[in-house]
């Protein structure tokens, strides 16, 4: 599936968890994703086992603790934590996962990608939800075009 179609399908989900949202938002891409999705009308949930709140909202220690569950997850923690998060996604029957990556390695993990795809999860392994659809802005769309050239945004998933 081409990235634009995969991103549209992911962003068509209503309840989205974002892992790694910090109570100290400086420099955390997870916080930018969380606040933008919230501003654009999504029901979002911040996941961070080390914080009680972030961006003025409660945080949850893990995906299972979110009341009513979620439809999709943005993994925005260190890549070494992504496989455990993907296992939880699989265990909870969540069908959409996006491993955030802009500059640097981001949250992308080959192991997490394999775990998710083998279980039937639609895994987007790179880029940022803010580069697509109603969550996007001009700056993120420009970054997306540049990052497709470097492979930081996959062309297909």
Lookup: tokens for 37:
């999705």
Maximum Cα–Cα distance for the chain, whole Å? Answer: 40
For the segment 17-21, the average pLDDT, to the nearest whole number, is 96
Strand duo 57-60 + 72-75: pairing: unpaired
What confidence score (pLDDT) does residue 26 get? 67
pLDDT at 116 over 80: yes
What confidence score (pLDDT) does residue 64 get? 98
Provide the percentage of residues in the chain whose pLDDT is more than 70.
96
Q: Decide if 94 contacts 119 (C-beta within 8 A).
A: no
Q: Write the pLDDT tens digit of every residue in 121-156.
A: 999 999 899 999 888 888 877 777 777 777 777 888
Q: Which long-range contacts (CB under 8 A, 24 or more apart) does 105-109 make?
A: 105/79, 106/29, 106/76, 106/79, 106/152, 107/20, 107/75, 107/76, 107/77, 107/78, 107/79, 107/81, 107/82, 108/79, 108/82, 109/79, 109/80, 109/82, 109/83
* CATH number at 3-150: 3.40.50.720
Query: Which residues contact residue 150 at a Cβ distance below 8 angstroms, ignoring those fewer than 6 apart?
Result: none
What confidence score (pLDDT) does residue 107 get? 92
Give the start-to-end residue ranges of the domains of the chain: 3-150
Q: Decide if 74 contacts 47 (C-beta within 8 A).
A: no
Q: Write the pLDDT tens digit of every residue in 22-55.
A: 887 666 689 999 999 999 999 999 999 999 999 9
For the segment 100-113, the average pLDDT, to the nearest whole number, is 87
């Amino acid at each position: 599936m081409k990235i634009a179609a995969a991103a549209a399908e992911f962003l068509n989900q209503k309840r989205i968890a974002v892992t790694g949202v910090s109570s100290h938002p400086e420099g955390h891409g997870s916080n930018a994703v969380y606040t933008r999705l919230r501003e654009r009308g999504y029901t979002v949930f911040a996941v961070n086992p080390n914080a009680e709140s972030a961006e003025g909202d409660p945080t949850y220690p893990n995906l299972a603790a979110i009341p009513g569950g979620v439809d999709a997850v943005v993994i925005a923690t260190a890549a070494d934590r992504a496989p455990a998060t993907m296992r939880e996604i699989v265990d909870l029957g969540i069908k959409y996962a996006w491993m955030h990556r802009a500059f640097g390695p981001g949250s992308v993990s080959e192991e997490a990608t394999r775990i998710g795809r083998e279980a039937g999860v639609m895994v987007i392994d790179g880029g940022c939800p803010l580069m697509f659809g109603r969550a996007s802005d001009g700056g993120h769309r420009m970054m997306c075009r540049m990052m497709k050239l470097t492979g930081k945004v996959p062309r297909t998933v």
